[in-house]
Amino acid sequence: MDFSLSPEQRALREEVIAFARSELGRNVADGDREARFPVGDWRRCAEFGVLGWPVPVEYGGQGLDPLTTIVALEALGYGCRDNGLVFAIGNHLWGCAVYLLEHGTEEQKARFLKPMCDGALIGAHALSEPEAGSDVLGMRTTAVRDGDHYVLRGEKWFVSNGPEADVFVVLARTGPPGRAQDALSAFLVTADLPGVDRSRRFGKLGLRTTPMGAVRFDEARVPASCLLGREGSGYSLFGGTIEWERAFMFAPHVGAMERLLETSVEYASGRDQFGRPIGSFQAVAHRIADVKIRLELARLILYRVGWLKARGRMALLDATIAKVFISESLVEAAATAVEVHGARGYLTDWGLERELRDALGGPIYAGTSAVQRGVLAELLGLRGAVSGAGGG
């Protein structure tokens, strides 16, 4: 086993960090306070190639392999202090673009992927509903075939990127009651279609620079050519892409953990109390040491998923472990940073309270930690341990 990065990966990592530090998140405090999507930073990311990292060159992307994509995303999370911007990028890539990459026709890829890579289109995943979050099979949005269109009716909630998105991957019910897994289909739905209404914007505890909202479909006529895969395959498509979301969405978390660790070490080394640095007290030192332990273990499981996906192998178990461990570890790292900094950590001026607010969403989105542990239990052979597949 060789755990070292290639020279090309190391060079890319340094390039991404330098770009993120110099070009992104300059006004993150204002953006967080005003819940403002950073359009300029989004465009800079597009120009740098971020929005096309995993997309093949022939579709306008950078063509990075899965492990190299993870390395780049980790570097982005380390260098960029606007966690909301990074989260918006994650939703764009792993909630929308990956569906096209895995299941889109050549026509669909040609139509959507290049403008998604160059930032002209913002993607989103419209999955959760007011009464269906983790219970994906319980969704009520319907799509009824009418000639060469599907008529879409229903409403999706908690759609990250929703208020700004140009194209949605929408799961809807197309089949009659029966085997629930065969009743769902996936569609590419553009925001400019008549009957598509970005009806509501939600305020959030954290990740405020990622807009979140509701999208209502009122007799929206979606061309049949926008069906992803075959009718009735929506649940299997969803299951085939969650490996990407559960791990790759959280790659930037590992970078953010490292940034928070370095911040905590620096402060604990320079802040004196009772005539000595606070880092010399075990109560402080041990908390920081625990962050380092979690960081290294998070990186190992994350890279393992990248290694598996680069070889075309299944990674559901590893991706599920990564989702739970990395998201919960970032919460611990952010909470530690706040506590180490004491009153300063609690003040908005230092930005650490924002890091904690941002981190708290991780154990919830892309499938709650409770659902993920149920998935793991079932993968271990404990049948009936989980009733849902994961969702917001």
pLDDT tens digits along 194-241 = 999 998 999 999 999 999 999 999 999 999 999 999 999 999 999 889
Contact 366, 290 (CB under 8 A): no
Binned at pLDDT 50, 70 and 90, residue 386 comes out as low
pTM: 0.95
**Among residues 352, 359, 375, which one has the least CA distance to residue 326?**
359
Q: Left, alpha or beta for 154 (phi > 0: left; psi -120 to 50: alpha)?
A: left
pLDDT tens digits along 242-294 = 889 999 999 999 999 999 999 999 999 999 999 999 999 999 999 999 999 99
- Classify domain 7-121 by CATH number: 1.10.540.10
Domain 124-231 has CATH 2.40.110.10: yes
Binned at pLDDT 50, 70 and 90, residue 163 comes out as very high
Angstrom CA distances, 256 to 12, 49, 70, 80, 260, stand at 17, 20, 13, 8, 6
Q: CA 142 to CA 219: how far, in whole Å?
A: 10
What pLDDT, on a 0 to 100 scale, did the predictor assign at position 93? 98
Q: Which residue in the block uniquely carries the two structure tokens 């929408």?
A: 170
Contact 32, 208 (CB under 8 A): yes
256 contact partners, CB below 8 Å, separation of at least 6: 77, 78, 83, 330, 333, 355, 359
What pLDDT, on a 0 to 100 scale, did the predictor assign at position 236? 92
Rg of the chain over CA atoms, in angstroms?
21
Tell me if domain 124-231 and domain 238-379 are identical in fold: no
What pLDDT, on a 0 to 100 scale, did the predictor assign at position 30? 97
Q: CA 331 to CA 334: how far, in whole Å?
A: 5
Contact 329, 363 (CB under 8 A): no
Residues with catalytic function: 245
Q: CA 378 to CA 392: how far, in whole Å?
A: 20
pLDDT tens digits along 295-343 = 999 999 999 999 999 999 989 999 999 999 999 999 999 999 999 999 9
Phi then psi dihedrals of residue 195, to 5 deg = 95, -5
Pairing of strands 167-173, 123-126: parallel
- Classify domain 238-379 by CATH number: 1.20.140.10
Binned at pLDDT 50, 70 and 90, residue 3 comes out as confident
Pairing of strands 196-202, 212-223: antiparallel
The per-residue DSSP string of 311-329 comes to: TT---HHHHHHHHHHHHHH
Phi then psi dihedrals of residue 80, to 5 deg = -100, 125
Contact 379, 385 (CB under 8 A): no
List of long-range contacts for 264-268, beta carbons under 8 Å, 24+ apart: 264/288, 264/291, 264/336, 264/337, 264/340, 264/341, 267/340, 267/341, 268/340
312 contact partners, CB below 8 Å, separation of at least 6: none
Report the chain's mean pLDDT, rounded to a whole number.
95
Eight-class DSSP state of 5: P
In the chain, domain spans: 7-121, 124-231, 238-379
**Among residues 335, 337, 257, which one has the least CA distance to residue 300?**
257
- C-alpha angle 121-125-126 in degrees, rounded to nearest 5: 120
Angstrom CA distances, 1 to 11, 300, 301, 302, 304, stand at 21, 12, 14, 15, 11
